[in-house]
Amino acid sequence: MSAKVVVGTQWGDEGKGKIVDVLADKADMVVRFQGGDNAGHTVVVNGKKHVLHLLPSGVLREDAACIIGPGVVCNPFVLLKEMETLEKSGLSTSHIRISDRAQILMPYHCYQDELEEAAASNKIGTTKRGIGPCYQDKYARKGIRYHEFIDFDTFEKRLRENVAMKNKLFTAVYGGKPMDADEMVEQFRQIYDRIVPMIVESTHLVNEAIDEGKEVLFEGAQAAMLDINYGTYPYVTSSSPTSAGVTVGAGVAPSRLDQVIGVVKAYSTRVGEGPFVTELEDETGEWLRKNGFEYGATTGRPRRCGWLDLVVVRHANMINGLTDIVLTKLDVLDGLDEIQVCTGYEIDGRLQNYVPSDQADVARAKPVYTTLPGWKEDITKMRTWDELPENAKKYVEFIEEFTGVPVSMVSVGPDRENNIAHNDRLD
């Protein structure tokens, strides 16, 4: 199989970064297909932690071409900062390329994000990284793409036009201060020589790689429940982090995708606002947060924690067409006597086995739990399926049976070596 996609199945933070890093060991190309630097991917290599926001997690595998795809909103200043951090760690960044169709996330997008969130009565919990406003401009056809940056005179003209327009919005609507176009032009002028050599027409490169039978790995940010169409709207991101998002975000046909790998955390977490059916606002929830170190890689915010919601995972399977599941953070559950798994919702006295569209319905939903036995053993040093405690195996098998998707790998720790293969499907 030459084209694999890694997607999140919950609200993000499932450990996609680690899994992409593991799978990228055999990849010739890694492509990020949506989102921006509101993502937070943590990869641990030989005990050293690397936190990535914009760069694909596969960037740590220097033999693979690393592409920021057309569907990404890319802040060039954040990109250069991340590259500098990697370079200080002794890692190469020479394999990084930016699609010329990708949108340039501008300083005025970040400011607009701050002003809009401050003025909102129903706050979404945005990271204030400018992602939403940049996608707004993209679909309003006012955005600036990377190919426009190559001709700096043209870019400067577009920038000044947009700043003038944005300043009317900032001052007249939000009561904010105008931004300085001259200062912004100079900021971009200073990074021109570093950014332009990375800009390529990526769509043909990706498709040629697939034509040649090379291993191409597609990586998204966020996850199914934050999808703009099928997530917990409006508490969602501004793009489609699903397998379908690959086709528009990287420029490949659906028929070219061989494997869709869904990353499932062994329990549930989410950051930001919105209803959360299995949330535990008690000692158990705090125990999961502490043991799983559940704090946002981008914001540092403590994540809301709860039991695994398999209604959500089955929803993710339906919209992504999962061929495999990678189960992460199973080790966090070590030591529990019992583990609850949500297998349905009770809404107004009725049992429902799918995720409602209306968040008012989700907010009223009560989780219907199946209780499974826990295990006391420390599984972090285990590397084979046979070593796992029987109750840990039963937990994995329950997930497989309920979702109808094979669990092909189990992660039992943060390092790229802390994995157990359940079959040979990800070889």
The CA distance from 272 to 266, in Å, is 20
The three state secondary structure string of 247-282 is: HHHHCCCHHHCCEEEEEEECCEEECCCCCCCCECCC
Q: What is the DSSP string of 7-37?
A: EESSSS-SSHHHHHHHHGGG-SEEEE-SB-T
Contact 321, 260 (CB under 8 A): yes
Contact 299, 325 (CB under 8 A): no
The CA distance from 293 to 302, in Å, is 9
The rounded Cα 203 to chain-centroid distance in angstroms is: 21
Residue with tokens 């991101």: 237
DSSP element (H, E) containing 325: strand 324-328
The rounded Cα 97 to chain-centroid distance in angstroms is: 19
From 13, 137, 331, 415, active-site residue = 13
Contacts of 350 (CB under 8 A, 6+ apart): none
| Catalytic residue list contains 422 | no
The CA distance from 403 to 378, in Å, is 26
From 37, 41, 50, 415, active-site residue = 41
The CA distance from 239 to 39, in Å, is 12
Angle at the Cα of 165 from the Cα atoms of 159 and 166, rounded to 5 degrees: 85
Q: What is the DSSP string of 119-173?
A: H-SS-----SSSHHHHHHHHHTT---BHHHHHSHHHHHHHHHHHHHHHHHIIIII
Pairing of strands 407-411, 324-328: parallel
Q: What is the DSSP string of 173-211?
A: IT--PPP-HHHHHHHHHHHHHHHGGGEE-HHHHHHHHHH
Q: What is the DSSP string of 343-410?
A: EEEEETTEEE-S--S-HHHHHH-EEEEEEEE---S--TT--SGGGS-HHHHHHHHHHHHHHT--EEEE
The CA distance from 42 to 39, in Å, is 10
| Catalytic residue list contains 147 | no
- Dihedrals phi, psi of 194, to nearest 5 degrees: -90, -35
* Phi/psi-derived region of residue 335, left when phi > 0, alpha when psi is between -120 and 50, beta in every other case: left
Active site residues: 13, 41
